[in-house]
């Protein structure tokens, strides 16, 4: 099977859906003439023209609102944020318009819109450009939240998101755009709300999503050196969450470690911990451990960034704690 970059997988998904459905269009800062800030939309202006690949002003509230209005009137916008840190400027349109319109209209208006772009830290970009809001958006009824970890999942999930009749938050990472992975040339879709077991194991379950899956998988490889078999689950979506996949794995391994980049309070890892302790408490041989970023804004210094973010070392230590009850 061919290997392509994460950004290429996203581009293919958008291209295929725009060819299939003329109501789909892309809008955002620098998506057209500049080929996208991270070159995700490279070449799309040439194929689809300025009516369907639209450069916007630096006004997230404005173009997010245009997207919501277009979706309510029968189009299927893909709205790109250069970073989800900038989505805070548009959060009223996302939370109070897109997420609420179907219920507040009594089902008269669907809002089939995808808000996509990078989330989380991407190196030394400072505290205001290094935040995770997956749990914020996942807290909102009416939204679906997708956070893929690899090119294959990114393409299949983005195509599904574009076809979905509800608003979807689709979160990527600057640090994944150049990642390569196997992606079929033929069309495929991945359902929203279905987790994937990336690595089977018997001793402990490690749950993660997005780019922090790299940490989870690397930790599993490190643990294998000590004859510890870790089952690694990629949630892929955090609203809805595939609770059943996590619970079934915990019933097999009897131990759970969750690795997530967001801050600890009210995090996705907190939600999963609650659910597992409610539905699989009798199967747990140790308390659930979670690895989050430390509860502080991300510094600029590279050494401090590494100290704050989830790491392989912290994950391995947490796994050994649930195994040996340290």
Catalytic residue numbers, as ranges:
60, 129
Q: Give the distance, in angstroms, between the CA of residue 133 and the centroid of all CA atoms in the same chain.
A: 10
How many CA within 13 A on the CB side of residue 56?
Answer: 22
CB atoms under 10 Å from CB of 188, counted, come to 12
**All residues at 6 or more sequence positions from 175 whose CB lies less than 8 Å from its CB, including other chains:** 121, 122, 123, 211
Cα–Cα distances in angstroms (integers) from residue 284 to residues 73, 162, 247, in the given order: 49, 39, 10
Distance from the Cα of residue 288 to its chain's centroid = 23
d(CA 132, CA 263): 8
Write out the two tokens for 49. 């023209």
Distance (Å, whole) CA 315 – CA 292: 10
Tokens of 81: 């944020």
Contact (Cβ atoms closer than 8 angstroms) between residue 207 and residue 272: yes
Bridging pattern class, strands 3-5 and 53-55: unpaired
240, two tokens: 């809805």
């Amino acid at each position: 099977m061919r290997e392509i970059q994460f950004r290429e997988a996203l581009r293919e998904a958008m291209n295929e859906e725009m060819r299939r459905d003329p109501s789909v269009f892309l809008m955002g800062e620098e998506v057209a003439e500049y080929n996208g800030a991270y070159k995700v939309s490279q070449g799309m202006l040439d194929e689809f023209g300025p009516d369907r690949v639209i450069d916007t002003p630096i006004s997230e509230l404005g173009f997010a609102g245009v997207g919501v209005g277009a979706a309510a009137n029968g189009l299927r916008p893909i709205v790109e944020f250069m970073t989800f840190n900038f989505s805070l400027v548009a959060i009223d349109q996302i939370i109070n318009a897109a997420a609420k319109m179907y219920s507040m209209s009594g089902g008269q208006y669907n809002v089939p819109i995808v808000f996509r772009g990078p989330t989380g830290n991407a190196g030394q970009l400072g505290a205001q450009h290094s935040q995770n809001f997956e749990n914020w958006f996942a807290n909102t009824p009416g939204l679906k939240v997708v956070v893929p970890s690899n090119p294959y999942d990114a393409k299949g999930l983005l195509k599904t998101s574009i076809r979905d009749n509800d608003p979807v938050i689709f979160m990527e990472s600057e640090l994944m755009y150049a990642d390569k992975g196997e992606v079929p040339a033929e069309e495929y879709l991945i359902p929203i709300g279905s987790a994937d077991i990336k690595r089977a194991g018997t001793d402990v379950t490690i749950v993660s999503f997005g780019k922090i899956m790299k940490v989870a998988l690397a930790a599993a490889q490190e643990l294998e050196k000590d004859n510890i078999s870790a089952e690694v689950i990629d949630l892929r979506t955090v609203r809805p969450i595939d609770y059943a996949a996590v619970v079934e794995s915990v019933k097999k391994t009897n131990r759970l470690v969750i690795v997530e980049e967001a801050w600890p309070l009210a995090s996705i890892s907190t939600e999963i911990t609650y659910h597992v302790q409610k539905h699989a408490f009798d199967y747990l041989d140790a308390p659930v451990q979670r690895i989050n970023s430390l509860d502080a804004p991300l510094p600029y210094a590279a050494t401090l960034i590494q100290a704050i973010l989830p790491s392989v070392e912290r994950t391995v230590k947490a796994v050994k704690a649930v195994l040996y009850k340290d």
